[in-house]
Structures are given as structure tokens and as C-alpha cells.
Amino acid sequence: MPTPAPTRAERWDIFCAVIDNFGDIGVSWRLARQLAAEHGIAVRLWVDEPAALAALCPQFDPQKAGQTIHGVAIHHWQRHTSGETAANPDLPQPFLAAPGDVVIEAFGCNIPESGLVAMAERQPPPVWINLEYLSAEPWTLGCHGLGSPHPRLPLTRHFFFPGFVPGSGGLLREADLPARRQAAAADAAARAALCRDFNMPPPAADALLVSLFSYENAAIAELFALWAAGDAPVCCLLPVSRAQPTAAAFFGQTLAAGDCVRRGALELRVLPFVEQSRYDALLRACDLNFVRGEDSFVRAQWAARPLVWHIYAQEEAAHLVKLDAFLDLYCAALTPPADAAVRDFAHAWNGGHIAADHWQNLRKALPELATHATQWCDELAKQQDLASALVHFCQARV
């Protein structure tokens, strides 16, 4: 699909409150960069935890104000939990004086009243977007793009739902991403290049190379035990994350970036937390990727490799409804054994308990899942990407 012409909007503001560790800022940072690079938009990114962005973007100094990186002006949004006051309006003066042509609240982070008043005073008012969390649930298609008038101010908030099917807001996808993925897939030395990048020796030629990026999960130790006792070697790449303490407990020692430990057929390599481009390359090089939240989940699909999703847990198990909605789409073209293997493992993993047959069935299905992952990726790439969909949506309303 052709890239739309630059929007008439001169400036967009994106607000991000870091809730899910790196997922919220990961999506916001990718979106901001793509809007600047591919659509010629002047983007201001307001983030309440600059240190989270620094982990994804090493060029960013969280102690320094007013930085512009990759064409994005980055600002610290000093949110206050004690409520808004006239003397402390909770939003920087540059925004209060001149809100952008488009204002995006990433994942319903709710900018305060002072910001809304400034937006209402602007003529014409900004296009106001609530960028929702990614979901495959059918009801989101009926709500995508709907507007909700503010009860007092001349503003309308539009709800924008990313998704996997036509009629949704699409997924974040840079214009050159398919070409980068295909080039990596065609390069027999891609895995060796990855190892050189992380300064580690190549894994055994017959080892299953797995990346593991997860929330805390008791099933990690169970899976490690199955891998260690198995007949086939497994090399697990574990980026520094919330899964690290569980891994350390399994091996009975502290673990830090650069460590390599072994038990039976399992080799575990601890990687530093890396910026997004290096993580994308890591996903493309692995045979199986365990991912979490939203950002790494989407990138694993663009990597066209088999994946296991650790979805962010919600009250009353609402996350399992979202998990099943995705699996209904993702598994539709699989054979019954592979379908069952993916669904059973996904529910076991998110339930915190893995049995031997869960892993054995998934491992057996991996050849089919590898082919399916490429086909799924190619189908997704036929749809409009999220940034372009936002630009088209806002062009009609600026």
C-alpha cells in the first residue's frame, strides 16, 4: 500500500504513561519515529518515565531536557498523583501554549484538564486520539474510529484500535520492514552475525535457538527442566528482564548480562536489555520466540518465526479472552494437531504451569509453525500499517 502524502498537520503530540514496563513506551517510541521519518510530521513525545525510554534508545539521556532524536522531540511529562492545581498544571508550558494539530493519548493515559482546556482554546482544535491497546476481539472493529464528545469542552476524542484484520487500525510496521526481514531470512550468516553482535560464540549447529522475554512466570522453571532433560539441545537467549530471578533460582546462582550457564541439554545465555533494532534482529534469528505485552508481541510476528505470547494479566482473567481472540485468528489455517499444540501451550504458559506434553507437542509442531509464521506475516503486511492509518484518519479531520 503506498505511503500517504505528509499530513497538513505541522505537529503531533504523543503522550505516554509507562505502565507495562517497556510495552507502552516501546509502541509510542516506534510510532513517533515512524511518523517523523515516513510522514514528515514534527512529533513531540511526552513520557512520564524517561529512564524507560533510555533503555530502548541509548542515545537518549534521561537527565537532559529537550532532546531531539530521530526527528522526535522528547520531553519529560511530570505527571502528579496528588491532583492538578493552577500553580502546578501537570503539563509543560510549550504544550499549554501551543498544542499540536493532533494529540494522541497512548493507551488512555488521560492528559489533565489544563491540557484539554488548551486544546479547546486552539483554533481549530486538535484531532484528539485515544490509541487503544491491541486486541483481536471482534467488538473492537465496531468501536474503531468512533468519537466521544467531551461533556463540557468543544473537543471530540476518537478511539483508535490497532488490530490484525481489515477494518482495524493495523499494526506498527515501518515501510522497509518486509525487505529487512526477507534479507535476514536469506542470509545464512544471520545467526552468526547475531552472535558477533552480542559477543558470544555460535550455539551448537543442532540446537534449538530460543529467545525468552517474559513476565514473572512459575512455568519458566518447569520449561527449563523439560529442556534440560530433553534429548535435543536448546540454547535459550534471555534478555535482562523480569524473568531473570526465576532463571537464577533454577540454576542456583545469580545471573547477569553476559553469563552463560548449562544444565543437561539446556544452555542459557543472559543478554543485556537492547534497543529495538537489535531486538528485532534477535527475533528474526531465533527458531522460537517467547514474547510479552504488546510491542515485542507484534515484532515477533513481523520476524516471521513461531512465537509464544505471555499476555499482560488483567483482573477477572480478561486477558485470556484477548488471548483466545488472537489464537482464533492465528490458528485458523493450522492443522488440528498444530492448532491444539499452540492453544494448549499458550494457555499453560499464561496459566503458570507447563507439562511435558505441552512442550513435546509444540516442539513437534514447530516445522509447520515456521511455515505458518511466514504466511501469517505476509498476510499482515498486505494491510495498512498503524502509522499510515492514523495519518489518513487525521487528515480527514485536521
Which residues have a catalytic role annotated?
24, 294
Query: Of 280, 279, 300, which Cα lies nearest the Cα of 289?
Result: 300
Rounded to whole angstroms, the Cα distance separating 227 from 214 reads 17
Residue 150, phi then psi, degrees to nearest 5: -65, 140
Q: What is the four-CA torsion angle of 5, 8, 13, 16, rounded to 10 degrees?
A: -30
Rounded to whole angstroms, the Cα distance separating 288 from 306 reads 5
Rounded to whole angstroms, the Cα distance separating 329 from 275 reads 30
Rounded to whole angstroms, the Cα distance separating 267 from 241 reads 18
Rounded to whole angstroms, the Cα distance separating 97 from 94 reads 5
Q: What is the four-CA torsion angle of 387, 390, 391, 397, rounded to 10 degrees?
A: -170
Burial of 339 (0-12, 13-18, 19+ CB in 10 A): middle
Query: Of 335, 342, 276, which Cα lies nearest the Cα of 309?
Result: 342
Query: Of 28, 3, 27, which Cα lies nearest the Cα of 13?
Result: 28
Q: What is the four-CA torsion angle of 10, 64, 130, 133, rounded to 10 degrees?
A: 130
Judge contact between 373 and 342, C-beta under 8 A. Answer: no
Rounded to whole angstroms, the Cα distance separating 47 from 43 reads 13
Judge contact between 217 and 246, C-beta under 8 A. Answer: yes
In the Cβ-directed half-sphere of 368, how many Cα atoms lie within 13 Å? 16
Amino acid at 264: G
Terminal CA-CA length for the chain: 23
Instruction: Give me the residues paired with residue 309 across strands.
Output: 291
